[in-house]
Amino acid sequence: MKPFVDIHDVTHVYARAEDGVPAVQNLTIRINEGEFAAIVGPSGCGKSTLMKLATGLQFPREGTVIVDGKEVGAPVKLAGMAFQNPTMLPWRTTVDNILLPLEIVEPHRSRLRKHKAEYVAKAEGLLEQVGLKGQGHKYPWQLSGGMQQRASLCRALIHEPKLLMLDEPFGALDSFTREELWCVMRDLHAARKVTIILVTHDLREAAFLADRVFCMSARPGHIVAEREVTFPRPRDLEITYTPEFSELVHELRGHIAQARKAA
Amino acid sequence: MKTKNQLAAAPWVFTVGFFLLWELVCRAFKISSFILPAPSTILLAVWEYRSQLTYHALHTLWMTFAGFGLAVGFGLLLGMLLGSSRLINAGSYPLLVGFNSIPKVAVVPILVFWFGVGWVPPVLTAFLISFFPIVVNVATGIATVEPEMEDVLRALGASKKDIVFKIGVPRAMPYFFGSLKVAITLAYVGSVIGEQNASNVGIGNLLTRASAAFEVPLVWAALVVLAVLGVIMYAITAYAERSMTGWAQRSQMAA
């Protein structure tokens, strides 16, 4: 398989960083097309920087970032993003929030006005997939936190991105809702074959969802360990209670503990 | 439901109570109507001078709306510019604050040198006094867009303009309408100041002439008319705010 996201020997310092310490240093990571990659690490390890580099929101000071065969020199335009904070716009209904990316990305941008009904149907379809059927007319603030996060996933997927970036998207949810959304995410990935990079603090989440888990060191961040997750798909939530799963989580925890100690 | 009715009645009860108290104090202490006329005396004066008051009040209203309209247009444009560019924001703030600190009464003579006595100075005074809060509020609303939201759109290739118009401007609307409530009353003060010094019509001008002639009840009648019009205009902008940005007012505090 060819790499879809290829970050090679990248060192990045933010222009605003006061101490001049790089956020990431000699970071190398390859993620294949259609793969579900999870990135875990101690806080402040540059996981969000990695997301910004892969989407072209930041450009590396040293090294190269190649996405979909092209070196990144501008925002990549083929990415969808979701964050811990659902960032829904309160003045738009849920459906209009989900349609927002289409108002930016071509060819949808110029088609949206004339083919509105078609796109609304598409948004409704996505809402159904994440378990929010018929809730599109509501305003985001009429939805619970978990429902807003589901809608935010729909917004990240509406323009059929080839790359989905998730920055701790379930971090603020209660554990039952979180596990429900893991399954939603698992099914979306299975249905769409989109490449997903999930940044998370939750090792169980990474182990349950990902094909490969990457552990990052403390700042300046780089990859210290890479672990293939071999549980067959489709995975059931029950696997999270098997000894093999616990062993994997324990192993990942060991890497993070070491990374924290090294800092 | 009881508390809701009480809330609705409260403004009327408080207002009527205030004027009753005023009336009582005037009668109890036999205060001369030259010093402080009782509300009943003022009401009589309003009735007596009704045609004169209406004529001048309409003129003042017109001046106020013209100045306010200019301030809204200019304030929105400048606010959008300041909110979307940190450079322009940092560069122009001292100028804006400095200008806003000048008492506008002091500017009216300059306006008279430029445009002569007439309708222009009151309109411009109303404009100059009321655009500042609009600029500041619109700029704040736009400048405080959540960085995650910006990232979502920028990663899709959105331009600065896209982000300002899709997120910044709608997001600034509650701030904008909030500032209108301040700006409308300021504009009103501005047009009256302008009329007092540089016009032959309007409530401001009427006030100047009435006080020069020691027609105390007429002065008070004009002040009461000003206050009533001010409340009405405030209510109109507050209504516009509620109907345009209801999504922003869902907390218990706003209800």
- Tens of pLDDT, residue by residue over A14-25, are 877 777 788 888
Partners of residue A77 in chain B, C-beta under 8 Å = 155-157
Q: Supply the range of the domain harboring residue B171.
A: 55-246
CATH number, domain at A35?
Answer: 3.40.50.300
Rounded to an integer, what is the distance from CA A203 to the centroid of its chain?
A: 15
Strand ranges for A96-246 from DSSP E: 163-167, 195-200, 212-216, 223-228
Residues in chain A within 8 Å Cβ distance of B166: 100, 103-104
In 3-state terms, what secondary structure has residue A30? strand
B153 Cα to chain A: minimum distance (Å)? 7
Query: Cα separation of B215 and B217, whole Å?
Result: 6
Residue of B nearest to A152 (CA): B152
Please report, rounded to a whole number, the percentage of residues in chain A having pLDDT higher than 70.
99
User: For residue A90, which residues of chain B lie inside 8 Å, CB to CB?
Assistant: 247-248
Cβ within 8 Å, pair A90-B248: yes
A100 to B153: CB separation less than 8 angstroms, yes or no: yes
What is the per-residue DSSP string for B201-230? SSHHHHHHHHHHTT-HHHHHHHHHHHHHHH
**Per-residue tokens: B198:** 């540089």
Chain B residues with a Cβ under 8 Å from any Cβ in chain A: 146, 148-149, 151-158, 162, 166-167, 170-171, 173, 245, 247-248, 250
In this structure, chain B runs to a length of 255
With respect to residue A90, please indicate whether it lies within any of the assigned structural domains.
no
Q: Report the C-alpha gap between A133 and A113 in whole angstroms.
A: 24
Quote the pLDDT of residue B255: 42
Instruction: Establish, for the pair of chains A and B, how many residue pairs have beta carbons separated by less than 8 Å.
Output: 64
In a domain, residue B175? The reply is yes
The shortest C-alpha distance from B248 to chain A (Å) reads 7
Specify the DSSP element, H or E, that contains A56.
none
Residue A31, domain extent: 1-78+192-263
Residues of B in contact with A159 (CB under 8 A): 156
Angstrom distance (rounded) from CA A155 to CA A106: 16
**Residue A31 covered by a domain:** yes
In a domain, A171, yes or no: no
- Spatial CA neighbour of B180 closest among B120, B223, B228, B136: B136
- Contact between chains at B152 and A91 (C-beta distance less than 8 A): no
Q: Please check whether residue B43 lies inside any domain of the structure.
A: no
- Which strand (E) or helix (H) includes residue B105? none
Total number of domains in chain B: 1
Name every residue in A having a CB less than 8 A away from some CB of B. 52, 55-57, 74-77, 79, 81, 83, 85, 87, 89-91, 100-101, 103-105, 139, 141, 155-156, 159, 165
Helix axes B39-48, B2-28, angle to 10 degrees: 90
Interface ipTM: 0.78
Number of separate domains in chain A: 1
Task: Classify residue A186 by its DSSP letter.
Answer: H
> Domain for residue A124, yes or no?
no
Calpha distance A83→A86 (Å, rounded): 6
pLDDT at A220: 82
Task: Please count the other Cβ atoms lying within 10 Å of the Cβ belonging to residue A53.
Answer: 25
CA angle in degrees (0–180, nearest 5) for B172-B173-B179: 95
Phi-psi region of A68 (alpha: psi -120 to 50; beta: other; left: phi over 0): left
Chain B nearest-CA distance from A93, in A, is 10
pLDDT, residue B254, reads 47
Phi, psi torsion values for B101, nearest 5 degrees:
-75, -15
Question: Splitting chain B (255 residues) into consecutive groups of 10 residues, what average pLDDT does each group show?
Answer: 80 93 92 88 92 93 94 95 90 91 91 91 94 93 88 85 90 90 92 90 91 90 91 89 78 52
H-type alpha helices, chain B: 2-28, 39-48, 50-84, 86-101, 108-115, 120-143, 147-154, 160-163, 169-198, 203-212, 216-244
| Cβ neighbours of A19 (radius 10 Å) | 6
**Taking CB atoms and an 8 Å cutoff, what residues of chain A touch B254?**
none
Q: Is residue B39 part of a domain?
A: no
pLDDT along chain A (263 residues), means of 10: 83 79 86 91 79 86 86 82 87 91 84 85 87 87 88 89 89 85 89 90 91 87 86 88 92 85 69
Dmax (CA) for chain B in angstroms is: 75
CATH number for position B209: 1.10.3720.10
Are A221 and A10 in contact, with CB atoms under 8 Å apart?
no
Contact yes or no for A87 and B152 at CB 8 A: yes
Domain-located, residue A229: yes
Q: Is residue B61 part of a domain?
A: yes
Angle at A110 between CA A106 and CA A114, to 5 degrees: 135
- Chain A residues with CB under 8 Å of B156 CB are 75, 77, 79, 101, 104-105, 159
